[in-house]
Homo-oligomer: A and B are copies of this chain.
Amino acid sequence: MEGSPTRSLSPAWLSYYVAISQILGLTVITMAGVWMGQYRGGIAWTSSLQFNVHPLCMIIGMVFLQGDALLVYRVFRNETKRATKILHGVLHVFALVIALVGLIAVFEYHRKQGYPDMYSLHSWCGIAAFSLYFVQWLLGFCFFLFPGASFLLRSKYKPQHIFFGAFLLILSITTALLGIMELLLFSIKDKYSSFVPEGILANTLGLLLIAFGAVTGYILTRDEWRRPPLAEEMALSMDFKTLTEGESPSSSQ
């Protein structure tokens, strides 16, 4: 990565893109809340309104917090790698716990109402996304936070971890869209084609979820916004390169 004049201007633009991603993220959470509050009767844990906990928790956990956990390597690009890693891991824990609450809500609601579980494409994608997300967290913890894994092992696993991290965010957003579609066709199927406000609100929520994913993905894939390695990490990379006489491990994420 060369420090050309164009590239040194980039971090300022990064802030704008991060701001847009956060505005989009908070907007989708608000819209999901408005949808549940205004059109689906509100949110509660004990009545049939328990279902409404599900979309809200899944969007907060599996979309907003998961996305933000990926962005910490860009937002806190000048902090130490260890502190950034811990924040990344902790945000994913929050995401997993909130998503688990959302899953319990829908399974309990189904049980109380006598509805069958796990037959729709939305549920198949959702359970795959949540399970794989948990596995990804466990592997990430073992490789990058637990002290046992060697530097070589870490640098071998890292590209896989990054790819599957992006894949899981995309799968989670896709699953959210499938959930919006399923809920609309169960609740307002006959009115949906008349462009009723609830349908337009939910469709717009879907498009904004895609926009959140697109902006997050754009930030994560720009080479010039990758985390620059700190001096001590550079030294470690150079030592490793000398030891292996092979390729230099990527020291930025």
Contacts and interface: CB of A to CB of B under 8 A. Distances in A.
A16 interface: no
A253 to B, nearest CB: 14
Interface in A26-45: none
A229 interface: no
A182 to B, nearest CB: 6
Nearest to A129: B210
Interface in A126-183: 128, 159, 163, 167, 170-171, 173-174, 177-178, 180-182
Contacts of A178: 177-178, 181
A181 B122 contact: yes
Contacts of A199: 119
B4 A246 contact: yes
Contacts of A221: 163
A25 interface: no
Interface stretch (A56-64, A83-91, A201-209): A201-209
Contact of A193 (B115, B170, B171): B115
A49 interface: no
Contact of A167 (B6, B177, B214): B214
Most buried by B among A5, A119, A194: A119
Given A115-B193, A116-B193, A192-B119, A206 B124 contact: yes
Nearest to A128: B207
Given A159-B223, A185-B185, 17 more contacts: A2-B247, A116-B193, A116-B194, A119-B194, A119-B199, A121-B177, A121-B206, A122-B181, A124-B207, A125-B177, A159-B222, A163-B221, A170-B170, A171-B210, A178-B181, A181-B185, A185-B189
6 contacts: A2-B248, A115-B193, A120-B181, A121-B181, A122-B181, A181-B181
